[in-house]
Chain A
Amino acid sequence: MFNGVWMKTFAELGFPGRLIAVEGLDGSGKSTQIYLLKRWLELQDLKVFFSEWNSSDLVKNATSKGKKRELLSPNTFSLIHATDFADRYERQLVPLLRAGYIVLCDRYIFTAFGRDTVRGCPPAWVRGIYNFAAMPDLVFFFKASLEVSLHRILEGRPALKYFEAGMDLHLSTDPYESFRIFQGRILEEYLAMSTEFNFLVIDANQPIEAQQAIVRDLVAAKVNLKEYKLHKPIPLP
């Protein structure tokens, strides 16, 4: 909701395509689930496109420069990621949805809402900035317990990046502790958003197959998949 107006979904805006987004903490298993969903749709010969978060080189340069030099404030962090999203939205997502694809997004605007709000940006400001983007037709939220998610990410003791660990928030001088607190706050934001934005909440503590069965059922119920058949190529003479 922005300024008392519901942002519309792609279907409500008359796009032929449909956008399905997955959200959840790192380590919630959402990427596995969206991959399996993609395979299922592809194997039915449907027009499906998986949108990875490949930034344009231009925006990538600025973002990595800012991150490397720790130059970013909450507002500039938010804006540079919004720029990146806008680029991807206008050049990739909108054309695909106009062309009638089922577009699968690993993370959408809700990632920004959660992350930027935790960093201290006013929620209304962040939501206002992203309101050029339509709402997904379906949003799956993979709700795993904080401990499970943290364990999956941290078990290999990966090198956590400064912003990724939320070190700019000065929650702790230990990157791992900082990451834990940061992820915990993001989870709270997700839970608060889940009713506001009608997330389809999936219990991510279940087996992979059990989750995927629910996801496929919901997609089949809410999207008329027959409409998205790939056109058979015209046979060569």
Chain B
Amino acid sequence: MKRSDRIPVQTNPRRIVVPKAKPRQFYGLGVPGMDVSKLGGKLIVVEGADGSGRSTQIARLVEWLEGCGHATVQVGLKRSTLVSEELDHAKAGNILSRTTFSLFYATDFADQLENIILPGLRAGMMVLADRYIYTLMVRDLVRGLDMAWLKNLYGIAVVPDAVFYLNVAPEELVERNFAKNHALDFWESGMDLGLSRDMFDSFLKYQSLVAIQFKELQATYDFTIVDGHRTPDEINIELRKRIESVLAGK
């Protein structure tokens, strides 16, 4: 898509809005020595399967937010300096069992939480997270790990200001994944679960299980479910509206 085709971004300096603060909290016991009242900024999470349009939407939100005068910082899964390389090796070899994998991802998350997310919020920035603890929890729940255990583990996480779940039907995700990568991903197809030896079949089954788990988590974690079948513009307009109300402290 060419730049000119996109919906315009705000560039009028008079219309820059200083975000209103809201009290913050951790989901559980938090991070030792971290005073939650010192955290400003806003934490905005975009969740959804591969091919749901997360990165497109985040790229546009960053552009829009910066146009509106907000400093942004981005985080995502498996990007920590501490363990991201090792996680890639582990995924390539399929050699770790589920609790180990889960804790490895949690380590990666904790590292980014403490080194990017919390410092970003403390500096009053807009932190855009390309997935958050929910994806990690859902993956583990589908693999049979215990909800109470996961809640305790991710009690270190700070509660975001908004969580958007881009909902796209598995059948549509298949097409988008083929169009993008010409193949399905081993992990995104849940091949480690033995749902089916046929990758296509496994992908559909796995993504349906994931969608069901996300809906179950929604009751607890209050995500906004966004219809991801629409055009990128339509979706982005909805996200902007919702983020504007977050910035207004609502």
Binding site for B on A (CB under 8 A): 3, 56, 58-59, 61-62, 65-66, 71-76, 79-80, 82-83, 86-87, 89-91, 119-122, 124-125, 128-129, 131-132
Contact = CB atoms under 8 A, between A and B. Distances in A.
16 contacts: A59-B100, A59-B104, A71-B81, A71-B82, A73-B32, A73-B111, A76-B82, A79-B106, A80-B107, A83-B106, A86-B103, A125-B29, A129-B152, A131-B149, A132-B99, A132-B149
Nearest to B93: A58
B71 interface: no
Contacts of B103: 79, 82-83, 86, 129
Interface residues of B, number: 33
A62 B100 CA distance: 13
Given A75-B32, A83-B107, A129-B153, A65 B97 contact: no
B106 A74 contact: no
Nearest to A80: B107
Interface of B: 28-29, 31-33, 81-83, 85-86, 89-90, 95-100, 102-104, 106-107, 110-111, 114, 146, 148-149, 152-153, 155-156
A79 B110 contact: yes
Contacts of A89: 99
Q: Which of B29, B82, B114 has the most chain A CB within a 10 Å cutoff?
A: B82
A163 to B, nearest CB: 14
Task: Summarize B's interface: helix, strand, loop or mixed.
Answer: helix
Contacts of A62: 82-83, 85-86, 104, 107
B97 A91 contact: yes
A3 B146 CA distance: 13
B86 A125 contact: no
B26 to A, nearest CB: 11
B155 A125 contact: yes
A22 B151 CA distance: 30
A66 B82 contact: yes
A4 B75 CA distance: 36
Q: Which of A58, A72, A74, A82 has the most chain B CB within a 10 Å cutoff?
A: A58
A228 B81 CA distance: 46
A90 B104 CA distance: 14
B107 A58 contact: no
Given A62-B82, A128-B153, 15 more contacts: A3-B148, A56-B96, A58-B95, A62-B86, A66-B82, A71-B81, A90-B99, A91-B100, A120-B33, A124-B29, A125-B28, A125-B155, A125-B156, A128-B148, A129-B152
B97 A87 contact: yes
B227 to A, nearest CB: 36
B152 to A, nearest CB: 3
Contacts of A119: 32
A132 B152 CA distance: 12
Contact of A61 (B86, B95, B98, B110): B86
Contact of A122 (B29, B85, B107): B29
A125 B152 contact: yes
A81 B148 CA distance: 21
A83 B153 contact: no
B28 to A, nearest CB: 7
Contacts of A73: 31-32, 110-111, 114
A176 B31 CA distance: 28
Given A65-B82, A125-B155, A86 B99 contact: yes
Contact of B32 (A3, A74, A132): A74
